[in-house]
Amino acid sequence: QVRLLESGGGLAQAGGSLRLSCAASGGTFSTLTLAWFRQGPGKEREFLAATVASGSTTYDERVKGRFTASRDNAKSTMYLEINSLKPEETAVYHCAAFDSSRDWNWRNVRSANVYDYWGQGTQLTVSS
């Protein structure tokens, strides 16, 4: 069983930087594909970034350049660093994962449907 716990949210100022963390327990972290999603008030859930077991990453074009996803297998933790924070980043941020041994490809990592495990989310509020 894999459990995911997000942290690092809270109140931040526009223009600043923030790093979110997703700590995993159970299972084998190094085999997981992990991703970040967010859902703002009145908005649908959107894909942000994913990291695969090899460490390679992919981003949604809307956040590429400002967002950096990474993973530390020794710490069983995935990170999301957000630079130049905007009020539009206000949302609940979730991490999600699936075991990389299952069938997958880069074309479907943006879909929430492929992820088997989800954290409860961490709230980020960006003030202007």
pLDDT digit string, tens, across residues 10-37: 999 999 999 999 999 998 999 999 999 9
Dist. CA 77–CA 124, nearest whole Å: 19
pLDDT at 80: 98
pLDDT at 105: 82
The upper half-sphere exposure of residue 11, i.e. CA atoms within 13 Å in the direction of its Cβ, equals: 2
Q: Is residue 116 predicted with pLDDT exceeding 90?
A: yes
Band (pLDDT 50/70/90 cuts) for residue 121 is very high
pLDDT tens digits, 31-73: 999 999 999 999 999 999 999 988 899 999 988 899 999 999 9
Cα 85 to chain centroid, rounded:
16
Return the SS3 of 11: strand
Q: Is residue 104 predicted with pLDDT exceeding 90?
A: no
Tell me which residue has tokens 């979110």: 20
Dist. CA 110–CA 105, nearest whole Å: 10
DSSP state of 86: -
Nearest Cα residue to 33 out of 101, 98, 108: 98
